[in-house]
Amino acid sequence: MGITDRKRDHIRIVLENASVQRGSNWLEYVHIIPRAVPDINVDEIDVKATFLGKEFSAPILIEGMTGGTDEAARINATLAEAAGRARVPMGVGSQRAGIARPELRYTFRAAREAGPDVFLIANIGAAQLAQHGVQLAWEAIKMIDANAIAIHVNTLQEIIQPEGDRRFKGFLAQTRRLCEEIGVPVIIKEVGCGISFEDAVILRELGVSAVDVAGRGGTSWVEIERMRAVEAGRIDRAQLAEVFQDWGIPTAASVLEVAQVNGLEIVGSGGIRNGLEIAKLLLLGANMGGMAMPFLKAAVQGVEEVENLIERLKEELKATLALCGASNIAEFKKRASYVLTGPLKEWRDQRIAGRAAKR
Ligand SMILES: Cc1cc2nc3c(=O)[nH]c(=O)nc-3n(C[C@H](O)[C@H](O)[C@H](O)COP(=O)(O)O)c2cc1C
């Protein structure tokens, strides 16, 4: 099966199956303490946020999803037009197809054409970077005049995919070179399993600017690849996927982990579905909240639907700030406190509370 068929499968499976969102991202174990005594004007609340040195209208990121087919070109264009109007950043999906087949570049380029001023994030996989190095990253950036590049680490997905590429050796050395040479911020992102404290320390030392956790509790690539394996009659791969259904660090725990490392910006993502969840991520230490699947669903409906979604998220975020008596995000982070309960508290106690200080 070619890359474009795979991309088509991914979009179809995500749009048709609610079950590809697996489990919980553990944000329900974060309880923000309400502040009942107000001294602000709710209509003056401002949710502007800064990420990678740029200011955006809100701490909302449209996560990288697609490219490689006509449908993907339409989705990228729709997302970029809305992102431009709403002044939020966005990523495109893995550009491997566009690099291998120049006739498919327009499917990624569509984002830049529809959003000439959008902060666009290029995307390639860790295996591609490991094997082909900085030149490949450069081609991805050039293809869409990107403002930053995300390298996705997706070991579990590649292991389950029958056609998966599992040659990651050299990834760390190439990431270091990339950070030294490329001239735009480098983001390392997971795709559903989260990123740990230990890995964040390594990434910071390599010179990475930001980490996008894409934790457990959102779109599950294990489940998507399990469905594809069943459709393809690959029962061995489907069984492998089943064993690893719940692998990974839930989003809330992953943000807590990565926030222990100084000098890395953080995108909290993985199952984020409303502005209250984005507010919780900010308190745990994230700079932005990222969403993929809800933006895909909105994009197939059109630009207006994507803009409405962004507007709804902003309203929910503003409501949360209001309920904490904060008129902007800096104030919110300073004023608001929270309690962790259940498994997230246990996680924090075992993994974070014992660690002496931020590294
Ligand atoms: C249809 C679809 C395609 C995706 N393709 C990519 C990709 O090519 N590269 C990548 O880094 N992440 C990809 N992702 C992962 C998302 O960027 C995101 O990290 C993850 O889906 C978690 O967000 P969610 O729970 O809001 O969907 C894709 C997600 C979806 C839903």
86-95, pLDDT tens digit by residue?
999 999 999 9
Residue 356 pLDDT > 80, yes or no?
no
| Mean pLDDT value across residues 32-60 | 97
Q: What is the pLDDT of residues 128-186, one digit of tens each?
A: 999 999 999 999 999 999 999 999 999 999 999 888 899 999 999 999 999 999 999 99
Asked whether the predicted pLDDT for residue 3 surpasses 90, the reply is: no
The per-residue pLDDT for 1 is 62
Residue nearest to atom 5 of ligand 1 (CA): 65
Residue 51: band (very low, low, confident or very high) from pLDDT cuts 50, 70, 90: very high
Instruction: Report the separation in Å between the CA atom of 305 and the middle of ligand 1, taken as the mean of its atom positions.
Output: 19
Q: What is the mean pLDDT of residues 67-72?
A: 95
Report residue 191 as tokens.
């795709």
Domains of the chain: 3-353 (3.20.20.70)
Give CA–CA dist 10/269, Å, rounded.
19
CA distance 224 to 237: 12
Q: Given the CA of residue 67, which atom of ligand 1 is nearest to it? A: 8
Q: In the structure, which protein residues have their CB atom closer than 6 angstroms to any atom of ligand 1? A: 10-11, 14, 63-66, 93-94, 123, 150, 152, 189, 191-192, 214, 218-219, 269-272, 291-293, 296
Mean pLDDT of the chain: 95
Q: Kindly report the length of the chain.
A: 359
User: What's the pLDDT at 19?
Assistant: 84
pLDDT of res. 64: 98
pLDDT higher at 134 or 356: 134
Q: What pLDDT was estimated at residue 215? A: 98
Q: What whole-number distance in Å separates Cα of residue 271 and Cα of residue 77? A: 23
Residue nearest to atom 30 of ligand 1 (CA): 65
- What is the average per-residue pLDDT within 49-78? 97
Query: Cα separation of 255 and 268, whole Å?
Result: 6
DSSP helix/strand/coil, 230: helix
Write down the pLDDT at residue 354: 72
Predicted local confidence at residue 4, as pLDDT: 81
Task: Judge whether residue 17 has pLDDT over 80.
Answer: yes
For residue 345 the two structure tokens come to 């508290």
Average pLDDT over residues 265-278: 98
Residue 190 Cα to ligand 1 middle (Å): 9
Mean pLDDT of all residues in 211-232? 94
What is the pLDDT confidence band of residue 357, given thresholds at 50, 70 and 90? low
Tell me the backbone φ, ψ of residue 231, rounded to 5 degrees. Answer: -60, -35
Token couple for 39? 């001294």
Residues with Cβ within 8 Å of 152's Cβ and at least 6 positions away in sequence, in order, are 64, 94, 123, 124, 125, 126, 189, 190, 191
Task: Kindly list the distances between the CA atom of residue 263 and the CA atoms of 6, 150, 255, 285, 287, in Å, as whole numbers in the listed order.
Answer: 36, 17, 14, 12, 12
Q: How far is the CA of 195 from the centre of ligand 1 (A)?
A: 15
SS (H, E, C) the chain: CCHHHHHHHHHHHHHHCHHHECCCCCHHHEEECCCCCCCCCHHHCECCEEECCEEECCCEEECCCCCCCHHHHHHHHHHHHHHHHHCCCEECCCCHHHHHCHHHCHHHHHHHHHCCCCCEEEEEEHHHHHHHCHHHHHHHHHHHCCCEEEEECCHHHHHHCCCCCCCCCCHHHHHHHHHHHCCCCEEEECCCCCCCHHHHHHHHHHCCCEEECCCECCECHHHHHHHHHHHCCCHHHHHHHHHCCCCCCEHHHHHHHHCCCCCCEEEEECCCCCHHHHHHHHHHCCCEEEECHHHHHHHCCCHHHHHHHHHHHHHHHHHHHHHCCCCEHHHHHHHCCEEECHHHHHHHHHHHHCCCCCC
Please state the rounded mean pLDDT for residues 235-257: 96
Distance 65 CA to ligand 1 centre (A): 5
Whole-angstrom CA distances from 15 to 175, 277, 299 are 33, 22, 11
Centre of ligand 1 to C-alpha 324, Å, is: 31
| pLDDT digit string, tens, across residues 275-312 | 999 999 999 999 999 999 999 999 999 999 999 999 99
From the list 333, 290, 327, the residue with the least C-alpha distance to 310 is 290
pLDDT at 22: 81
Phi-psi region of 230 (alpha: psi -120 to 50; beta: other; left: phi over 0): alpha
* Number of the ligand 1 atom closest to the C-alpha atom of 64: 17
Which of 2-11, 60-69, 162-171, 212-221 has the weakest average pLDDT?
Answer: 2-11
